[in-house]
Chains A and B, each alone.
Chain A
Amino acid sequence: MSQCLKKKMLFNPSNFKKNYNKNINNPELKKSLFRSRKIVDSRKIAIKSVSDFELLRNYSSEIKNISISNLHQLLINWEKNAKKNGTIVHWAENYEDVNKIIYKIAKKNKVKNVIKSKSMLTEESGLNDYLIKKEIKVTETDLGEYIIQNSNEPPSHIIAPAIHKSKEQVSELFSRIHNQKTTNNIEELTQQARENIRPHFFNADMGITGANFLISDSGSTVIVTNEGNGRMTNTLPKVHVAVTSIEKCISNFEELSLMLRVLTRSATSQNISNYISITTGTKKQKDLDGPKEFHVILMDVGRTKILESDTWEILKCIRCGACMNHCPVYHTIGGHPYGWVYPGPMGSILNSSLLGNKIAGDLPYASTLCNQCGVVCPVKIPLPELMVKLRNRKYKSINIFKFEKIILTFWAFISKNPRIFNFFISTIRKILKLQANKKNYISSILGLKFGWFIKRFLPKPK
C-alpha cells in the first residue's frame, strides 16, 4: 500500500475511536502533548498585557458577527477593490474547482516548483497530492509543515502542525532527509531546515499562501506569520496565489488592528507576531519586490450552507488554536484522531458541519462540554453549544433501535413517571451494591466492563 493511501485511510473522522485508542497508548506522544500545555500559562500572561482583554473579546466577536451578517456586500466590495489593484479573483465552489484553478494558473505560467506557506484550505482540498500527480514539485516552507510533509503526515494542530513530534523524532527525520548527523539541538535542526528550504524559495515559480483576513475596503489579503517564510512565499515567485475562504472578510484596517490584538495573544501568546504581511495587488512600478501576477481564490465549499444553519457561529473562527490548546480531550489524544484538517473543539464542529454526520458525526460527542474552549475563544464562539446542536443533528438522524437512543428514550420515559423512576433508581442502587467488592468499589457491572471501567472503578452507592 502506498504511504499516501495509508495516510488517507487512517486520516478519516469516521475512524475516530480506532485512532484515539492508538494515541492514548503512545508514550512519546503523551510527552509531546504534555509539553504543549505550557501555552495555557503563557496565554494567561499575554492577555494581561492589555488592560481589558474581555472587552477586546467582545469587540472582536461583534466585528465578526457584523462581518458575517454583511458578508455578501463585503465580498463584492472586496472584489471590486482587489481588481483595481490588479488582483485576479477566482470564486471556487468545491475542492475540485480550487485545485483546477491553481493547476490552470500553473500551466499557463509553466510552473514547475511551488512553495507554500500558511494554507489550511489547500490542506482541505488536497492540493499537494493533486499537483504532485501533475508533476509539479510542492515544498512546504513553514518549519512545522516542512516536518510533516517530509514524514508524510497530516497536521495535528492548526498553527503548530508538528506539535505531536518530539525533537528526537525530528532529528531522526532530518538526519535521513538531509543526510546529516542526528542532533537534539533545536537551533541546529532549525538551521538545517532553513538551509534546505532556502534554495526552494529562489527556484520557485509560484508561491501559495492562505489568508487570515481579507480587507474589504482595500481589496487586500493579510497573513500572520512568525518565520518570515510567508513573506518570501508571497514576494519572491513571479506568481502568488492566495487561497482563502469567504468568511475571512472584514471591513477595514481599524477592524484588522483589533482582530490582530486578540489573534496573536490567543494563538502564540505574543503581543504581535513577527510578521504581518498585507498584500494589495501585484508589484507596482516603484515597488522593490512582489509578484507579477497575484491570484486570490475565494472558496465557498460548504460555507454558505453553514451560514444558513444553526452552527453559523463557527464561521467566526479566526484559527488561533486556543480552543484546542485548552481542551482536555485534545491534550489527551492529540490532533490526528479527529481525522481531518481541523482538530480540537473548532475542528469537531467544522469537520462535522462540512463533512456531515455520517463521516464526522462522532466528533461533537468527543467533548466533556467543560467549556474551557468557549471561555478562551477570542471571538466568543459558544463552542460547547454548537457541539450540542450538532449532536442533536446526529441524534435525529440515527435509527431508533440504536443502543444509545433506546437508553435515552427509556430514561426520558421513566423521568416522566416519578413512580417508575423511583423504582428504577432503587433497583439500580441494589444492583450496584451487589456488584461492589469488599473494598466498596465496583470494577464491572453484571460482568460488563464498559467504557467507564477502563483504568477506573466506580464507587459503591452509600
Chain B
Amino acid sequence: MKVGLFYTCLVNIFDPDLAYKAKKILEFFDYEVVIPESQTCCAQPNFNSGDFDNSQELSKSFINDFYGIDYIVVPSGSCAGMILKNYPELITNFPDEIKEKYKSLKKNIFEFSDFIYKKIGSEQFSQFSLEKELTYHDSCSGLRQLKIKNQPREILKKIKGVKINEMSEPEECCGFGGSFSLKFGGISSEIVEKKCSDIIKTNVKNVCLGDLGCALNIKGKLEWMKEDIEVSHLIDILHESMFKKENVI
C-alpha cells in the first residue's frame, strides 16, 4: 500500500528530519511512502486570515498533488483538520471532477497518530522500549476538529518504559493560533506561559505533542523561562523507540 506524506510547511522550515522519521516509521510497517514534490501549503494561513480566494486555489493544488495515493498521512492536527473539515466549503464551486477527487481522497486522509492507531495498531508498539516519562499536550485542532485524544496515548503506553504523567489541563490551548501568535504576540505569550507552568508542575522533562506549531510555541517559551524541558513530536518518540539499537528487544 502507498502512503503519501504531506509533511507540512512548518516541518519543512523547522524540522525536516521529522518527515524522514515519519517515512522510516511507515516503511517499517511495510508501507511504500511517496512524497509528492509539488506539495506546498494546505492553505491554512490564508484561510484563517480570511483570504478565501487564495485558499480555494491552494486546496485545488493539494487535491491534485495527492489524488490517487492509497492513504495520505499528515503529521499535524491543524493541517489535517484544515483539509478534512474546511476544504468541503472551499471547493463547493469547483467543477465536479475536483469534487469527486476530493471525495475519494477524503476517506483516506489521516492525522499521523490516527493512522498509526487505526491502520497499524497500537499493539505493534509493544515490541519497542524507551525509558521516558512524558506529559502529553493535546493540540486544539487535532483534539476538537478530529477527535485525536486517545490515539497517541494508547500508542505511547504500549512502548515499554514510556510513562505518561498528565498535566492539569492538557486540553487547554497553548496560545499559538498561527498568525495570532504574531498579530497578538502579547496575549499569545501569556497563554503559553500558563501552559508551560502546567507542564513544569508535572516535574516531567519531556512534553510530547502532535503539532509543530504548538511545539515551537511551547519550546520557545520554555527556553525563555530557562526551563530545561524537551519538546518532542510523537514521531520523535516513536522513532527513538524503534530505531535506537538498544531499544529493540
Which A residues fall within an 8 A CB radius of B?
17, 20-21, 24, 328-329, 331-333, 365-372, 374-375, 388-396, 404-405, 408-409, 411-412, 414-416, 418, 421, 425, 428-429, 432, 439, 441, 450-459, 461-462
Label chain B's interface by main secondary structure: helix
A450 to B182: give the CA distance in the assembly, Å: 7
A362 smallest CB distance to B (angstroms)? 9
- The residue in chain A whose Cβ has the minimal distance to the Cβ of B12 is A425
| With A371-B145, A395-B49, A416-B61 as contacts: A459 and B220 at CB distance below 8 Å | yes
CB contact list, B138-154 vs A, under 8 A: 140-141, 144-145
The answer to whether B173 touches A332, judged by C-beta atoms less than 8 angstroms apart, is no
| With A408-B45, A411-B45 as contacts: A450 and B14 at CB distance below 8 Å | no
The answer to whether A457 touches B186, judged by C-beta atoms less than 8 angstroms apart, is no
A366 to B49: give the CA distance in the assembly, Å: 11
| With A368-B180, A415-B58 as contacts: A439 and B223 at CB distance below 8 Å | yes
A24 proximity list for chain B (CB < 8 A): 186-187, 190
A36 smallest CB distance to B (angstroms)? 14
Per-residue CB contact flags for chain B residues 159-177 toward chain A (1 = under 8 Å, else 0) read 0000000000001110111
Complex partner residue of A411 from B14, B46, B173, B188, CB under 8 angstroms: B46
Complex partner residue of A332 from B52, B187, B217, B221, CB under 8 angstroms: B187
| With A370-B140, A411-B45, A416-B61 as contacts: A457 and B51 at CB distance below 8 Å | no
The answer to whether A392 touches B190, judged by C-beta atoms less than 8 angstroms apart, is no
Complex partner residue of B182 from A411, A412, A452, CB under 8 angstroms: A452
The answer to whether A388 touches B48, judged by C-beta atoms less than 8 angstroms apart, is yes
The answer to whether B47 touches A388, judged by C-beta atoms less than 8 angstroms apart, is yes
The answer to whether A455 touches B189, judged by C-beta atoms less than 8 angstroms apart, is yes
The answer to whether A367 touches B185, judged by C-beta atoms less than 8 angstroms apart, is no
A415 to B12: give the CA distance in the assembly, Å: 13
The answer to whether A404 touches B17, judged by C-beta atoms less than 8 angstroms apart, is no
The answer to whether A412 touches B183, judged by C-beta atoms less than 8 angstroms apart, is no
The answer to whether B173 touches A412, judged by C-beta atoms less than 8 angstroms apart, is no
A454 to B185: give the CA distance in the assembly, Å: 6
A371 proximity list for chain B (CB < 8 A): 140-141, 144-145
Per-residue CB contact flags for chain B residues 204-219 toward chain A (1 = under 8 Å, else 0) read 0000000000001101
A328 proximity list for chain B (CB < 8 A): 172-173, 175, 191, 194
A205 to B191: give the CA distance in the assembly, Å: 48
A253 smallest CB distance to B (angstroms)? 34
The answer to whether A329 touches B15, judged by C-beta atoms less than 8 angstroms apart, is no
Q: Which of A368, A394, A408, A428 has the most CB of B within 10 A?
A: A368
Question: Counting CB contacts under 8 A, is B39 at the interface?
Answer: yes
